[in-house]
Amino acid sequence: MTQSPDSPKSITAGVLLTLAGSAIYFLMPAYLGDMATAMALGPQQMGVLGGAEIAAIAIASVFSSFWIKRVRWRRGALVGGVVTVFGDLLTCLVHGYFPILVLRVFTGLLGEGILYPLSFAVLGQTRDPDRSFGIALSYSVGFLAAVLLASPWLTTLLGEAVLVIILGALAVAVAVFARWVPDPAAPPAPIRAGPKPRPDAAIKLGLLGLWGLLGQAVWFVGPGGYWAFAERVAADQGLTAATTATALSVGLAAGLAGCLIPARIGGKHGRIWPVTVSTLALIGVVLGTLRHSGSVLFILYIMLFNALWNLGTAYIFGLIASADHDGRLAVLIPASQSVGLALGPILMGYLVARAGMFAVGWSFAAAELLALAIFLPFARRVIQQPTHGTLGVTHAADSGGNAR
């Protein structure tokens, strides 16, 4: 009997895929901090190490559009889980910057880069994907926030490789429960089916979607780069490791608030203003964290940063999904996201090495303003016309966005 995409086993598999595939994003600041301590890395080396792994995930996500319909998802989950475990194990055993860099690229390309897009496919085929992604996000934020909070104690107990061990443990869970991953399901009958777009309209809609993906990629450059260097920003201001871990973990947990807003109101009160307001507020928050304002205010800034990041992401994902008429665009969302998250640490690492930590602030502002210039025209086009979501279902222009 075919396993239902909405069964508890399928949802659990989607949650595990999300955790194992995206944990590196959430743990990036503490992970790079541990690596910098273990190998005496400079800012540029840190940026390359973090950015290269995420770039590998992005490349793998692009290629997922070719195999996602051809390979049994359970087999994909098993392969991705085993490769991730293998890469994490070798990372703990080898020494030296270059071998670890090669291993992290390998792990991102053939391990996490399979698991992360597969999580979008598994959760996206449920009858209520907003709720499914919300469940996955809630577990991810809760578990990884606890890991960040405990990271100083764990590092003291088990050494700088402890976060890599945790990444490997999550991948082990995926491999063990790979049999719970459902196969692709036939799409449920839509409540109101719209006509398929004409070929010329489909081409225009596809180009519009690609323009939106470009804007999303640029938008993630800022948050991705800042989050990678948040631990170094805190250290530059004299905050202790324990205070920094508290700020990052509490901030990550506070990010859940940014998902509750779109989950509650959706697009009832507009879809463009949340992207604009959250982006401009993010610029102010990041610039605020670079001022020597004390540990309490820094923690508040990090809480706001994560909440605003999730708020903007939710509506960006939703707007891009509204321009998708055959499903091929949605599977590229994690690839576009990963491109931005990979470029952020690399670019900021280069700039910080040459201009100091304040380069994080002005480079963040430049990236976000450029992203708005690219993304807002796309968003206006999307809400001005009836759009076709995946499987050809007509959606109203003010439908809500999906959470990250």
Last residue of one domain, picked from the residues 185, 201, 233: 185
DSSP class per residue in 192-243: SBPPPPPHHHHHHHHHHHHHHHHHHHHHHHHHHHHHHHHHHHHHHTT--HHH
Cα–Cα distance measured from residue 16 to residue 23, given in angstroms and rounded to the nearest whole number: 10
Residues 279 and 391 in one domain: yes
Residue labelled with tokens 């324990």: 242
In a domain, 21, yes or no: yes
**For the chain, which ranges sit under pLDDT 70?**
1, 128-131, 134, 185-206, 259, 262-269, 321-322, 324-328, 330-331, 385-404
Residues 174 and 205 in one domain: no
Looking at residue 203, its pLDDT comes to 47
Residues 277 and 211 in one domain: yes
In a domain, 214, yes or no: yes
Cα–Cα distance measured from residue 118 to residue 21, given in angstroms and rounded to the nearest whole number: 9
Looking at residue 148, its pLDDT comes to 82
Q: Quick one: 89 exposed, middle or buried, by C-beta within 10 A (0-12, 13-18, 19+)?
A: middle
Residues 80 and 170 in one domain: yes
Looking at the 3D structure of the chain, how many domains does it have? 2
State both tokens at 366.
């430049």
Looking at residue 268, its pLDDT comes to 64
In a domain, 403, yes or no: yes
Cα–Cα distance measured from residue 175 to residue 86, given in angstroms and rounded to the nearest whole number: 12
Looking at residue 156, its pLDDT comes to 87
Cα–Cα distance measured from residue 66 to residue 76, given in angstroms and rounded to the nearest whole number: 13
Last residue of one domain, picked from the residues 185, 214, 246: 185
State both tokens at 195.
């006509």
Q: What is the dihedral of CA 38, 42, 46, 52, to 10 degrees?
A: -120
In a domain, 326, yes or no: yes
Here the CATH number for the domain that contains residue 181 is 1.20.1250.20
Nearest partner of 341 among 25, 21, 48, 22, judged by Cα: 25
In a domain, 41, yes or no: yes
Residues 130 and 226 in one domain: no
Residue labelled with tokens 């692009």: 62
In a domain, 2, yes or no: no
> Bridge partners of 387?
395
Q: How many Å is the Cα radius of gyration of the chain? A: 20
Residues 162 and 218 in one domain: no
Residues 216 and 181 in one domain: no
Last residue of one domain, picked from the residues 185, 209, 234: 185
Residues 176 and 211 in one domain: no
In a domain, 1, yes or no: no
Cα–Cα distance measured from residue 95 to residue 315, given in angstroms and rounded to the nearest whole number: 42
Residues 145 and 197 in one domain: no
Residues 146 and 199 in one domain: no
Domain interval for residue 153? 7-185
Residues 307 and 350 in one domain: yes
Residues 27 and 175 in one domain: yes
pLDDT in tens, 24-70: 988 888 888 888 888 988 888 888 898 889 889 888 988 887 888 78
State both tokens at 73.
């998802």
Answer yes or no: are the C-beta atoms of 275 and 376 closer than 8 Å.
yes
Answer yes or no: are the C-beta atoms of 140 and 22 closer than 8 Å.
yes
